[in-house]
Amino acid sequence: MKKWISFFIFCCFMILSGCSNQNLVPKSEASNVVDTYGITSFSVTIDTNEMQEALNASFTEKKERSEAEYTNQKEEITLHGKKALKKIMEAFEKMEPDPEAEETELIKNAAEAFGFKEYKMIRLEVKFKGYDSKEIMFSK
């Protein structure tokens, strides 16, 4: 019986440790985001009238590990790591993020860049290198 319990705990540990690395982004690609857009941390959540958290996207660049996640329930897409970062960078290209932009402009540009012209609520957190973090929430 002890062997089965030990085996079960070992299997759970292996599964959990494997899942925790799925959002990792190679250091060079994370640095590319910072160099290109000046963004060290980004998170956006969009709710529509039809569904809460229709979109969740996040990117974090840190010294020890960088991560990215992307979930679009409207399109039934869930991406992690490099694939998520690629999707987020496509949105950044459309968004043209600017640390000096007004909050309403950042919200509007983020919603459109991620393909949500109609939304009920949007929550945006962005940290540009050398600037204070911006946390914005807007409801219609």
Confidence check: pLDDT of 6 > 50: no
Which tens digits make up the pLDDT trace of 89-100?
999 999 989 999
Kindly state the helix (H) or strand (E) to which residue 15 belongs, with its residue range. helix 2-19
| Cα–Cα distances in angstroms (integers) from residue 65 to residues 21, 36, 60, 103, in the given order | 10, 19, 8, 29
Distance CA(71)–CA(93), nearest Å, equals 18
Which residue, 94, 35, 34, is CA-closest to 59? Answer: 34
Instruction: Identify whether the C-beta of residue 65 lies closer than 8 Å to the C-beta of residue 85.
Output: no
pTM of the entire structure? 0.81
Contact 127, 41 (CB under 8 A): yes
**Sign of the C-alpha dihedral, residues 77, 91, 83, 123?**
negative
The residues, ordered by sequence, that sit 6+ positions from 34 with a Cβ below 8 Å of its Cβ are: 40, 61, 129
How far is CA 131 from each of CA 11, 40, 89, 95, rounded to the nearest angstrom? Answer: 44, 10, 20, 18
- Does the structure show a pLDDT above 70 at 17? no
Task: Report yes or no: 110 and 92 within 8 Å, Cβ to Cβ.
Answer: no
Q: What confidence tier does 5 reach under pLDDT thresholds 50, 70, 90?
A: low
